[in-house]
Chain A
Amino acid sequence: MTAGAALLLLLVASLVPLGAGHLARAHQAAYGLCLGSALVLALVALVHLAAGDAARLAVLPFGLPWMAAHFRLDQLSAFFLLVINLPAAMAALYGIGYGLHAPEYRRVTPFFPLFLLGMNVVVLADDAFVFLVGWEFMSLASWLLVLSNHRDQETRRAAHLYLIMASFGGFCLLPAFGLMAGEGGDFRFEAMRAGEFGPVAGFLVVLLALLGAGSKAGLVPLHAWLPQAHPAAPSHVSALMSGVMTKVALYGLVRILFDLHGAVDWRWGAALMLIGAASAVIGVLYALMQTDLKRLLAYSTVENIGVIAISLGLALAFKDQGRQALAALALVAAFYHMLNHAAFKTLLFLGAGAVQAATHERELNRLGGLIKRMPVTAPAFLLGAMAISALPPLNGFVSEWLIFQSLFRGPELPHWTMKFGVPVVGALLALAAALAAACFVRAFGIAFLGRARSAAAAQAAEVVAPMRAALVLLAVLCVVLGVIPVTVTGALATIAEPLAGAALEPAVGLGWPWLSPADGERGSYAATVLVLAGLVLAGLLLWATRRLSPLPVRVAPSWDCGQPDPSPATQYTADSFAQPLRRVFGTRIFGARETVEMPPPGDPRPARFSLRMRDPIWQGLYLPLAAGVDWLAERINRMQFLSIRRYLMLMFLTLVVLLVVVGVRQ
């Protein structure tokens, strides 16, 4: 009931700015309404989760003529409702301050609530029709939001690609649901859950779900649109697309693979793990090479989605092999990482938006020194960067720890593929995690530390209060989710229980602050205790240094080996920072070629350095595909110039073929 009212409120919010036009207040009011309804929805979800209520159903009399619209709020929906609406509330709060800074803001405000509405409908849907309507709503609204800055050529290209990929995703999900509905054509999830399907249909359902949801979530090789579309939108929308919309896609995957389908073969788990590992490593390597702050964050989303996919794949394999307790562990790890990624990716995108609002720059090589000019944004962004780099005691580390703990149990699976595959996936995951740390040291270090590399960065000013508030609240969320891992894991375990088929004890043997899932002796982690011990040691350390080292700090020019250079251009740039890693990983993967043109001595021309890289997936997969489609279109194009007699003949032939088919089948 409350949830329905909140959804209606979103609809109203989208109408407010339409009538108001230029009135700034109206746009702010629309964001205010979004904030309110997102908070209400988050609260509804939280209450549902806390009370552990049974699923609540609602049937509304609209939709297809022969079918009402079914809604359902169960534990899984409630969790995703929370994952959507907490960041959404923060993005709306941020939008109150930022919305008017965004280019073409009047094209943003009406669609922002619709985007939220679409995502919420997807997770609340209880039949395929409502699900797909919500899904398309979400896709189209976000497409319009990407297109808001439509005067930019780059943006139009990104939006075009996004529309194609979104249509492809929907196009895959449609037959997946059709196959699950079976011959009876009952599109309620209830019926699909009960239904049985043969091996071919089961295979196709999983494949189509992976393609449909995977393309939306940004799994390699269907990720190409994501790093182009996400950064093109205004920052608070980018935050929701990266932090939240990808989670809605994963919700679709989880709903189909763990709930509706129910009996997925372990090989799919292995495949998902492999795709996830590839996404994680490729995503983070691309992120390391980017110099556009928002594009870097978008590539990092590909990485994190890959990490979640590894965990989901592992859960599938465990579940199929009857290791329900371990499946629950892997599933909880995946959920934890979804929650975490929603928190810190939203934070980081909003931080990037703040940087953009303050400097009108996204290019890392023109930023620098912002930590002194933006005293709130910088620490918040730093916390987000540390969380996404999986550093304790923040939240990113807990989910990473859980994923590793479940991966370490992977060799217990009986198949040799898994026995050999799991260590390799583990190595790739560890590599991705370490590269992510390098990536975010680079992002934060170049953008916020050092000296300003441009006049805009030198004159940046801190952003307005609502934006700061959103950043601070999200940073606090990252800390809280990290410091009480046992509580969060316990809550997630109740959500995973019906899907995995077993309950997960968050703290076996050791009790509350010690996170030791499944088995107390296997490994444990206690962020709470570490933080307390760290605080005690910090107090002692401060006291000791005070006593031993009484002299005050003196501020002086940089030493830099005695030869400081006043030009900020002598600092390391984003490109030079990535150079060692580019040489280690880039030559083979991106075909990176560095050429230095050094004029001979005496020649006053400057030396030139150029770098060429190519995207193997884009060139190896997308361009040939596009060429193939063009070729096909060219062939079909001829059909436009036939005579009427021929057209009639085509129709006649089709009719005859269909009649033959019907005849043969009878």
Chain B
Amino acid sequence: MTATLTYDLAHLIGATVLMMGFALLYQRRVSSVIRIYALQALALAAAAAWQAYIQDAPHLYLTAAIALVFKAIIVPLALSWLVRRLGMHRTIETALGIGPTLVIGVGLVALSILLVLPVTEGAAALARESLALAMSVLLLGLLMMITRRNAVTQVIGFMALENGLLLAAVSAQGMPLVVEISVAFAVLVAMILFGIFFFRIRERFDSLDVETLDPYRGDRP
């Protein structure tokens, strides 16, 4: 296998992760969002495995396995269970329409390319592209947290953001395993905390729209 082909494949997998980031913004149903998130995690696991192969770094296989088990299987299943258990609305309330969100998303990708390119002037095309991809995934996750009002979608946005971090980590050579594992566990803990919060929020307000929390903020005069 030629060198360029390996790199191209790595980028293609990275681009799939990014596309799933866009698909998350495009969807209107909670169940589809969860499914797309699982796909994104799957692509991420593939990216990690592929990087393990081309960098010849066995610990990345572990990262891939963690991503596969936790992010692509357990988290989506848990979220679907939560949605069913809480009897949530199947549609997502958006703070900004789908079209404008997508336009902003493309703008963010352009921005991350614009930021990454001058910084990595000397670096190989591989690193540049991976970094640009990872940063775009991260920003799209943030965008999702901002523009979607449902609590579940906010969690997914948060985890998509974390996927971007992980993508950067696996493509940059030399990230220690400990960091990755701790990040993965941090996310898991965050997920559990969010889950508990969902129940509490719902018990109180009979809704998962986070806007309803607003009047109870302590800093209000």
A residues apposed to B, CB below 8 Å: 416, 420, 584, 588
* B131-179 contacts to A (CB < 8 Å): none
- What CA separation (Å) do A416 and B117 show in the bound complex? 10
Tell me whether B87 is interfacial, beta carbon within 8 Å.
Answer: no
- What CA separation (Å) do A588 and B98 show in the bound complex? 12
Residue of B nearest to A416 (CB): B114
Query: Does the CB pair A588–B114 fall under 8 Å?
Result: no
- What CA separation (Å) do A584 and B103 show in the bound complex? 14
Q: Shortest CB–CB separation between residue A416 and chain B, in angstroms?
A: 6
Contacts of B100 in A (CB 8 A): 588
Tell me whether B110 is interfacial, beta carbon within 8 Å.
Answer: yes
Contacts of B99 in A (CB 8 A): 584
Total A-B pairs, Cβ < 8 A: 7
Residue of A nearest to B117 (CB): A416
Contacts of B110 in A (CB 8 A): 420
Q: Shortest CB–CB separation between residue B102 and chain A, in angstroms?
A: 13
Query: Could you list some 7 contacts between A and B, CB below 8 A?
Result: A416-B114, A416-B117, A420-B110, A420-B114, A584-B99, A588-B97, A588-B100
Residue of B nearest to A421 (CB): B110
For the residues of B in contact with A, the DSSP-based class is helix
Q: Which 7 A-B pairs have the closest CB atoms?
A: A420-B110, A416-B114, A420-B114, A588-B100, A416-B117, A588-B97, A584-B99
Residues of B in contact, count (CB < 8 Å): 6
* B87-113 contacts to A (CB < 8 Å): 97, 99-100, 110
Q: Shortest CB–CB separation between residue B210 and chain A, in angstroms?
A: 24
Residue of A nearest to B106 (CB): A424
Residue of B nearest to A588 (CB): B100
- What CA separation (Å) do A588 and B97 show in the bound complex? 10
- What CA separation (Å) do A588 and B110 show in the bound complex? 23
Contacts of A588 in B (CB 8 A): 97, 100
Q: Shortest CB–CB separation between residue B103 and chain A, in angstroms?
A: 10
Residue of A nearest to B113 (CB): A420
- What CA separation (Å) do A420 and B99 show in the bound complex? 20
- What CA separation (Å) do A584 and B98 show in the bound complex? 11
Q: Shortest CB–CB separation between residue B131 and chain A, in angstroms?
A: 17
Contacts of B117 in A (CB 8 A): 416
- What CA separation (Å) do A416 and B110 show in the bound complex? 11
- What CA separation (Å) do A201 and B97 show in the bound complex? 45
Residue of B nearest to A427 (CB): B106
Q: Shortest CB–CB separation between residue A581 and chain B, in angstroms?
A: 13
Contacts of A584 in B (CB 8 A): 99
Residue of A nearest to B100 (CB): A588
- What CA separation (Å) do A416 and B114 show in the bound complex? 8
Contacts of A416 in B (CB 8 A): 114, 117
- What CA separation (Å) do A416 and B99 show in the bound complex? 26
Q: Shortest CB–CB separation between residue B170 and chain A, in angstroms?
A: 28
Residue of B nearest to A587 (CB): B97
- What CA separation (Å) do A584 and B110 show in the bound complex? 24
Contacts of B97 in A (CB 8 A): 588
- What CA separation (Å) do A588 and B117 show in the bound complex? 33
Residue of A nearest to B110 (CB): A420
Residue of A nearest to B107 (CB): A424
- What CA separation (Å) do A111 and B179 show in the bound complex? 81
- What CA separation (Å) do A588 and B99 show in the bound complex? 10
- What CA separation (Å) do A584 and B97 show in the bound complex? 11
Residue of B nearest to A584 (CB): B99
Q: Shortest CB–CB separation between residue A593 and chain B, in angstroms?
A: 15
Q: Shortest CB–CB separation between residue A341 and chain B, in angstroms?
A: 29
- What CA separation (Å) do A100 and B97 show in the bound complex? 53
- What CA separation (Å) do A79 and B116 show in the bound complex? 47
- What CA separation (Å) do A417 and B180 show in the bound complex? 37
- What CA separation (Å) do A248 and B97 show in the bound complex? 42
Q: Shortest CB–CB separation between residue A600 and chain B, in angstroms?
A: 28
- Return the CB mask of B187-201 against A: 1 if under 8 Å, else 0: 000000000000000
Contacts of A420 in B (CB 8 A): 110, 114
Q: Shortest CB–CB separation between residue B129 and chain A, in angstroms?
A: 16
Contacts of B114 in A (CB 8 A): 416, 420
Q: Shortest CB–CB separation between residue B136 and chain A, in angstroms?
A: 14
Residue of B nearest to A585 (CB): B99
Q: Shortest CB–CB separation between residue B101 and chain A, in angstroms?
A: 12
